[in-house]
Chain A
Amino acid sequence: MNTPTDPALELDEVTVSYGPAPALENIGGVVGPGEAVALIGPNGAGKSTLIKAILGLVPLVSGRITVLGRTPAQARREVAYVPQADTLDPEFPISVGQVVLMGRYRRIGPLRRPRAADRRAAGDALEQVGLADRARHRFGTLSGGQRQRVLLARAIAAEPGLLLLDEPFNGVDAVSEQALLNAVAVLKGQGTAVVVSTHDLALAHLACEEVCLLNRRQYGFGPTRLTLTPDRLRATYGGHALELRGDRVIVAHS
């Protein structure tokens, strides 16, 4: 079984396709416990597809994915996934506290009531994202950034070995971004591996030791400082004019 020194995630020549042409080809890399990797690439590059493959929700054409020493489907209970908050129904009659408690559902099982430990885990998770005072509010009454934090709290409450975030910083205010980053840092400190897809290079520098440059193929996978070079970024983003200002990519579509 998995020991703390084993990698949390291994990608080995991963190829995925929805139709005749592959959406991802020969992706490979290793993420250790407590490490974070940023998936960087333009829209349609296959970032979401890779995350779904790690969850075992799309089949592989070839290659292998190992999560915490097991297949993705077997490891799912120890993997947490944070969807984008704006895909959820804001009118759904559910409180913030209940959403976070959902992270414990797989542990609670169908018949048992949530134990004190479950409630404490949920409460702590909400605390970590700075929303402890909102537990009784309806989910939909929060701002977009706050909703994203609640979904992260749900993932934290699940105490995962691997955390997957799909563009969690889109349309999120600065306060929420900081809260999200802090929470991710705490999780990494506890040994959780993190995969986050993003457009934000500053974020990759701040929070991730590794980056994976993707655009159907892999344009680089390795330590952030060595991999995030202007040349490689230009290659990843194709022939489009690309400018690196500060730490942000600015892509001008032709």
Chain B
Amino acid sequence: MNVVNKLTLRHLLLNKKRTLVTIIGVILSVSMVTAVTTFVASAQDMLIQDTINDRGNWHAKFQDIDAAKADVFLESEAVEQALFARNLGYAELMGSANEYKPYMFIQEFDKASIAELALELVDGRLPKQENEVVVSEHIRYNGGVEIKVGDKLDLAIGQRYSDGYPLGQDNPFSKADADGDGETLQPEFTREFTVVGIVARPWFEPYSAPGYTVITCFDRNSATTGPLDVRVRFKKINRSVYELGQELAAQAESPDYIEEDSGVFYLVRYNDTLLALYGVTGSEVFSNILTTFALIAIAIIMIGSISLIYNAFAISISERSRQLGMLASVGATSKQKRRSVFFEGLIIGLAGIPLGVLAGTVGMGITFSFVGPILANLVQSSAQLRLIVSPLAIVIAILFSMLTIFISAWIPARRAAKIAPIAAIRQSRDVKLTRRAVRTSWLTRLLFGFEATLALKNLKRNRSRFRATVVSLTVSIVLFLTVSAYATYVTVGSNMYTPGLNCDMEIAQRGMSKEERDFFAQVISLKQVEEYSYEQSCYGYMQVPAEMASDFLINKWGDPKEEYNYYIMLKSLDEKAFADLARAAGVGMDAFTSGKPAAIALNQFRMPWQGGYVESEVIKAPAGTELTVDLSSSFGERDQEISFIQEITLAGVTTEAPMGSSVWTDPLSLTLFVPETMFDQLLAGLPDEEQRYTGTLYINTSEPGLLEEKIRSMHQCDAGDFHIYNQAQAAQEEKQSKLLLTVFITGFILLITGICIANIINTITTSIALRRREFAMLKSVGMTPKGFNRMIRYESVFYGIKALSFGLPISLGINYLLYRAMSDGFQFPFTLPWNSYIVAVVSVFAIVFITMLYSSLKMKNENIIDSLKNWSA
């Protein structure tokens, strides 16, 4: 080691505390970058797992390969594993309730395919022998045919033909038309199977496939006939997989190709989602979002860290300038001086980077162990968020950290190179100090006294150091307040507008039929349904004279009118729900048994209004009022102008919405509740096919995700009139994603603030340490401990004021923009996270003051003469 580096090292050791703080800053910075890259790697891994669980672990698929060519895939160097499958054909499913799905489609999988193609076992086990099968649970839910584990299937298997052409799973069932022309099934052989398991409807069964999936097992070696479907997993996953695909297809003489001018192009199917996650294609939106997020986070971290590390180097250089000047006077070259700064960077990096990588990885591991379960629940998948220590992620983190240190050292190194011998000769450290720089107003002296003037001059003497501290403080303030504001707006927004319907799940069918009612009954019998209420509803209109309209409507809602056109929602509740409602409204049940139509109104509405929300009655009507409602709009075609007018007595009103209803409506909407029998009675006057009312089932459940899945697999036709609204699931997901976001952002802010605080401590400690002699001097001419404290206090206050004078307006601006962006859609008044503002102001002063006090405490009690003699401290 040359003498310059030796001196550098000694200097670092001499200033142990500052070196340590700088290293801690580097550790924080590196650990954050590592955390980000590790997070990306882990998230990518989770998405890959998820995709594999969903769609199997394969990269390319070759169709209709001759069995004799199977060896091509087994022998290829590029292939990690080949998965074979063969289509046996169709067999009739006796008694299928779905007329478009009258078959079972039997496929043979080899062991590898069974293991790797994401078959989701619901019951039993997977097939191990050629006479064993698993069947799709869709057969039971959709086809209505009960096949249990242990059942024997004796199947006549063959191909489907239409006009002489064979049909596959991609060709929907073509029903015989009027002339009797349709597809036919021509059985070719029979086989007997034992059902050993039930699987969920597999991902590879097309949406409108005519056959339910049945899978058996086969040994590829004994299968010498028939076209095979081959899926492969490549060893190396990069862009070359597309060329490899073509090569393999050519070697296996795939019949699936098109001729182009440039030659033969084989049609190979790729698992695009999976390949995109591996980064082979750049089109996957999600991985782009991840990368963008990672880059933004790293950029913020780098800005924070550069300001810290640059500052540390700059301080070190200004302290060493006498030493470097002395070296220059005995002949050290510019290069040697510049190198000494980079050497310092190297030492700091060697100490900080490995520890940072370790801390970041361990930190993420701990975070994942907390966050993982929440996330797993959130995405409803079997994939796990596990810690992936990817070499690439670590290399990237190290590269970014090295870049950060290099950039930080760049300017100080150039400055060091320029240090002249004069720096050693001049006794004053502040060689460049000018009168203008330290000018202060006489007002300061008048208002705050001499110590304040001195404090202010001290701040002004080293502009760059002052600026660095102020910037660090400002960045911390802005980041902290922005995140607080974000959290506030998220909660304000959701607290006001999530109440919605007070149930977990809602299933609605427009235009109810007998089958739909049966289906609803089936749903109710599911064990996940803990509580439910069935409701029928239809719409109508009612003319309301001004004296019955609410005060709000007349006084605030546009121009007053003679008459208002109210929108009526007529709802039936089942017996128990209606009895509860009647009790709440204080109405006896006999009002509804007299045979005359009577209803209970939800006479309360709430809606966003002028920055807050308004809550009021909908209508001014006492019990017993006759309401004339036109229910025609629910029936027939709107333009047919049928009117269907009913007289309904208002039996009572309630202000509490029963399950499935909400007070979040508008002043022109009135909901009327009637018992089920009365609903039927009201509509009895219409012919059956005109009864286009909506049936809704409100459900409370603690397993909304599972229940929705169940219901979806049970429902036969996914017509546009059928809807499932999974409020609980949506609310839960929203809550959890908010929680996740909060965890990550809070962690991020804490660490960034850590870097900023390290920076502040570094700067202030040094500027105090450099003034050691000066403090001794002031004391020797009679500055009292009290005066000394006052000076330190003023310096802190000036730092704080300066930082806040930048930080607060910037934060306010950002908060307002954030508010504008987030209040979009729902209106709520502009609010600020006041508590956070107070916390920010107090902590800024506290951090600065504590740091200053701490670093000056030692000096205060130091012997004056010792300090004075220590000229080159």
The finding on whether chains A and B are genuine partners in a shared complex, rather than unrelated, reads no
Residues in A lying within 8 Å of B, measured CB to CB = none
Question: Which residues of B line the A interface, CB within 8 A?
Answer: none
